[in-house]
Amino acid sequence: MTPQAHRTGNAPPTGRRRGTALEQAIFEAVVQQLEAVGYAGLTMEGVAAAAHTGKAALYRRWPGKAELVVDTLDRLLPSPEDLPDRGNVRDELIELLRQKAAVLNSRVGRAVQSLLAETERDLPFVRLVQERVFEPRLNVFRVILERGGRRGEIRPEPISPLVADLGPAMLVQRFLGDSSPIPDDFLVAIVDQLILPLIKR
Amino acid sequence: MTPQAHRTGNAPPTGRRRGTALEQAIFEAVVQQLEAVGYAGLTMEGVAAAAHTGKAALYRRWPGKAELVVDTLDRLLPSPEDLPDRGNVRDELIELLRQKAAVLNSRVGRAVQSLLAETERDLPFVRLVQERVFEPRLNVFRVILERGGRRGEIRPEPISPLVADLGPAMLVQRFLGDSSPIPDDFLVAIVDQLILPLIKR
DNA sequence: CAGATAAGATACGGTTGCGTTCACAAGTGG
DNA sequence: CCACTTGTGAACGCAACCGTATCTTATCTG
């Protein structure tokens, strides 16, 4: 049933790695295994083999696979960044979607696709993945709208909260339907053809 | 590793089922197993146990799990329906999104969430799930726009193709982020607050 | 009723992964 | 140098599942 564990393709290390160096190799192996066999197919043995280490080194640090994956994701997923004021709403929205697309386009982003399947299983990484990868950043969107309002760029009337969901929803759907990276002009088109017409003065 | 196979909760059948009756029970068991343990966790033994039958009955019909799942999905996922002319664009768009939400809200729809993890694995059900469950129905959207154009309801200038993706993208994101059923007023809001402002005269 | 078919139950040999344990030894710091 | 920590490789008993095979027998049809 379980496919053969995939090797990283890297040669085994010369000499022993200790502490954080070993942990980095393990995290890298987790990502590689998530990509190759998904969360369900990921095994401690497979991660250990891909990291060229022993299971005991894994179990010394993590009680099981879910905790290992949580720690890996927490370490490797980018934290949300503040968005600099770029002087106009369009550029800020494009930047916001670029940040999201960059996460989705990353190896880690692609690796977490398999975690979508686990959403109902009360595993500790579910919330983390939703927040860091898939959910819209409503607070940043709100800041962009406030700045745009101050600059007189957007309509004075209230804007539907659904507009904040729109861009990320389109990116996620693209992500799920097509495994090639999300092109930049796609997200620019989302801003220009969908979001701006809904909010611009 | 693999969790214990879950029973359907139904009592074993009285007497033997043959032919299509047995197949129905097997399909039902597949859905139940997809919900309970996902695609990766689904086993022929688990399905056989949940359907109160023997593995040999499964292997007599299907060479393996992927074929079994394809057949189940093909049988249980609703085929696309034509959309009747409801006299105005708004009602037609709402109906279109209602059909999609109905699929996503169904047990089968929820059961296929685990298949999202498999999208990169060239399994035969991938296309089927994308088309039947997740993808926008562009041809129907186009028909709605044409009718609306004829009625003078929508703008004469070309409408961005991204607008067709918008509704389904919002539904899918809702589906992924929240396991409760998609409420009807959510999809009505998508039409009223996002799609119509983008297309209406 | 007899015959044919296929369902249900079980067994089998093989594979894989779990979590634990152990022996040896590389690496580090005093 | 020595003591300690931790990494490496391998072994272990167990559980689960695969795909196949076999036997019994329920069900259906003519």
Q: Where are the domains of chain B?
A: 19-76, 89-199
Picking from A127, A176, A185 by the largest number of B CB atoms within 10 A of its own CB, the best residue to mutate is: A176
Question: Domain B19-76: which topology?
Answer: Arc Repressor Mutant, subunit A (1.10.10)
Residue B54 DSSP label: -
Which residues of chain B are within 8 Å of residue A163 when distances are taken between CB atoms? 193-194
Radius of gyration from C-alpha coordinates of chain A: 20
pLDDT of residue A120: 57
Instruction: Tell me the nearest-neighbour CA distance from B14 into chain A, angstroms.
Output: 33
- Cross-chain residue pair A120–B40, CB shorter than 8 Å: no
pLDDT of residue A94: 96
CA A57 to CA A18: how far, in whole Å?
10
Within 10 angstroms of residue A45's Cβ, the number of other Cβ atoms is 13
Instruction: Tell me the nearest-neighbour CA distance from A143 into chain B, angstroms.
Output: 20
Which residues of chain B are within 8 Å of residue A134 when distances are taken between CB atoms? 173, 176-177
C1’ C28 / CA A19, Å: 12
Distances (CA, A) of B75 to B66, B105, B108: 14, 17, 11
Q: B172 — contact with chain A (CB < 8 Å)?
A: yes
Residue ranges, chain A, pLDDT below 50: 1-9
The pair phi, psi for residue B110, each rounded to 5°, is -65, -35
- Which chain A residues 30-69 have CB under 7 A to strand C? 43-46, 54-56, 59, 64-65
Q: Kindly indicate whether the ipTM for this predicted assembly is greater than 0.90, answering yes or no.
A: no
- Cross-chain residue pair B166–A162, CB shorter than 8 Å: no
Within 10 angstroms of residue B88's Cβ, the number of other Cβ atoms is 14
pLDDT of residue A1: 30
Q: Which residue has the tokens 């296309």?
A: B127
Residue ranges, chain B, pLDDT below 50: 1-9
- List the 85-114 stretch of B: residues with Cβ below 8 A of A: 113-114
> Which nucleotide is at minimal CA–C1' distance from B51?
C8
Of chain A, the end-to-end C-alpha distance in Å amounts to 58
Q: Which residues touch strand D (CB under 7 A)?
A: A 1, 12-13, 16-19, 22, 52-57, 60; B 1-5, 15-16, 18, 43-46, 54-56, 59, 64-65
- A38-80 confidence digits (pLDDT tens): 888 899 999 999 999 999 999 999 999 989 999 999 999 887 7
- Cross-chain residue pair B168–A170, CB shorter than 8 Å: no
pLDDT of residue A4: 34
pLDDT of residue B179: 84
Q: A40 — contact with chain B (CB < 8 Å)?
A: yes
Residue A161 DSSP label: T
pLDDT of residue A187: 97
Consecutive H or E run containing A28: helix A19-41
Q: Which CATH number describes the domain made up of A89-199?
A: 1.10.357.10
The pair phi, psi for residue A143, each rounded to 5°, is -60, -45
Decide: B160 and B66 in contact? Cβ < 8 Å.
no
- The answer to whether the beta carbon of residue B11 comes closer than 7 angstroms to any atom of strand C is no
- B5-18 confidence digits (pLDDT tens): 333 445 677 788 98
